[in-house]
Amino acid sequence: MNFFIILFLFFSLFSITFSHETFNSHLLPRPLIIEFPQTIETQFGKSIDELQLECSSWRFAVESNNLSPWKTIPHECADYVKDYLMGRAYRFDLERVSKEAIKYAKSVELGEDAKDVWVFDIDETLLSNLPYYADHGFGLEVFDGVEFDKWVDKAMASPIESSLKLYEEVLKLGFKVFLLTGRSEHQRGVTVANLINSGFQDWDKLILRATEDHGKLAATYKSEKRNEMVEEGYRILGNSGDQWSDLLGSSVSIRSFKLPNPMYYIP
């Protein structure tokens, strides 16, 4: 008899405990999310927090052109740069540039003579070579022109959607669109194919490096080409590029829009 009383009491207690836990789930210990210890040391002898701070400071110096020249991304920032490019932040930054550029493009009054120009760079401005750089450490490796040209020849770079939006907008507004790229003249065919299959349908000029331009710094080559535009009577009102060498030098645009690129630096 005693055994049955003990059994009854045990089940009663279990039932009370169970219902208490079920209906008072707020009493469960908090937090239920396991936090990754940010103070844990990385292979570089710094905490994850510290590395995050240092790498975002490095990226700011890159984008503001305070750090120049530079050859490769810092070894300890490899994961940081990869996460930035593959996550939402890069796209957010690209969209921000495009939005501001569209705002400006809509605000200017164009002349009647169809001489107002918007200049676009191509790589990492209109077309993204992320698949290529993903295979080459996102800037961890020193730039290999031969390998990159093989990628360009495939005409598989993807459109930067926010830039396509700006592109279509400036065309609609009546700007002349001049594409000014560091790619070589012999890559014209694949470049045209890649632009068209990415949705960039119309442009007024596509300027590539001719034989005499090889060996020139990008900043010099692009300045010379802009000088020619100005000599032809064009007014450069907007310029979009991912490198400062797309934007600085002579005959600079009234407004320049710098797209993010923490992967490489072209002087």
Site residues for Mg ion per CB under 5 A: 121, 123-124, 242
Closest residue to Mg ion, Cβ-based?
123
Burial (CB < 10 A; 0-12, 13-18, 19+), residue 152, is: buried
**Beta 205-209 vs 176-184: how paired, if at all?**
parallel
Least CB distance from residue 133 to Mg ion, whole Å? 12
Least CB distance from residue 91 to Mg ion, whole Å? 17
Least CB distance from residue 246 to Mg ion, whole Å? 6
Burial (CB < 10 A; 0-12, 13-18, 19+), residue 1, is: exposed
Total residues belonging to the chain: 267
User: With respect to Mg ion, which residue has the nearer C-beta, 124 or 213?
Assistant: 124
User: With respect to Mg ion, which residue has the nearer C-beta, 79 or 95?
Assistant: 95
| C-alpha R_g of the chain | 28
Long-range interactions of 144-152: CB distance < 8 A, separation 24+: 149/187, 152/183, 152/187, 152/190, 152/191, 152/194
DSSP3 helix / strand / coil % (the chain, rounded to 5): 50, 15, 35
User: With respect to Mg ion, which residue has the nearer C-beta, 51 or 222?
Assistant: 222
User: With respect to Mg ion, which residue has the nearer C-beta, 176 or 183?
Assistant: 183
Structure tokens at 15: 């039932």
Least CB distance from residue 124 to Mg ion, whole Å? 4
User: With respect to Mg ion, which residue has the nearer C-beta, 126 or 229?
Assistant: 126
Least CB distance from residue 129 to Mg ion, whole Å? 9
